Amino acid sequence: MTHHTDKELEEKLQSSIQKAVVKIGAKKENDICRYLPINSGGYIHHFTMRKMKTENPNELLVMIDKYILNVNKPKAVPPKPRAARGSRKMRGNFFFTKQDMERLLNMARIAGDKELVKKLTPREDLRTIKRKLISSIRHGRIERDLWESYVEAQTNQNQTTAAQLTKSDVQNAFAAVAGNK
């Protein structure tokens, strides 16, 4: 194609777009997209139309003529059906009530599945675990799971405390120990 015919095609396309905008009563040229169907269902995306203006103007011109200008009453194409936003969530996430969780935890304890018991046991702070442990001892009950969660919580707290010590704290501690000898 020569430069002259490119210019003519561009002007003809722009003129058709303006006529289409007026015919459907739109405010801007992107609004005509809703009247141009595509093979995969729904209407053409405005980015695709913009790309067609430069890369495939003949096809866009034919589409505008066929679906808007040469039709008495142009019909808006129904949008492509999309998945509902909520359905994109991961499948397999179950929601349990507190009673359901307690029943599952009890079943895991009966089955002797320590891993599952550990996963299903709600995380509690060290103070709460200590209180429950002392209470169970006073009532003459030995709860192995409670003891294990106490040991785990205490270990986690010790690790956190150790991680918070700075280099200068460690040096000061060594200096204090060395000074006492």
Domain boundary among 50, 69, 88: 69
In a domain, 75, yes or no: no
CA distance 64 to 19: 10
In a domain, 180, yes or no: no
Cα end-to-end distance, the chain, whole Å:
96
In a domain, 83, yes or no: no
0.75 exceeded by the pTM?
Answer: no
| Confidence at residue 168, expressed as pLDDT on a 0 to 100 scale | 66
| 62 and 110 share one domain | no
Residue whose entry in the numeric block shows the structure tokens 């009966």: 110
In a domain, 156, yes or no: yes
Phi/psi-derived region of residue 30, left when phi > 0, alpha when psi is between -120 and 50, beta in every other case: alpha
| 10 and 51 share one domain | yes
| Confidence at residue 89, expressed as pLDDT on a 0 to 100 scale | 59
Domain that holds residue 136: 98-163
Domains in the chain, number: 2
Looking at residue 125, the DSSP 8-state letter turns out to be: -
- Walk along the chain (181 residues) in steps of 10 and give the mean pLDDT of each run: 73 92 91 91 91 92 92 89 66 80 90 85 84 91 84 84 69 73 54
In a domain, 132, yes or no: yes
In a domain, 9, yes or no: yes
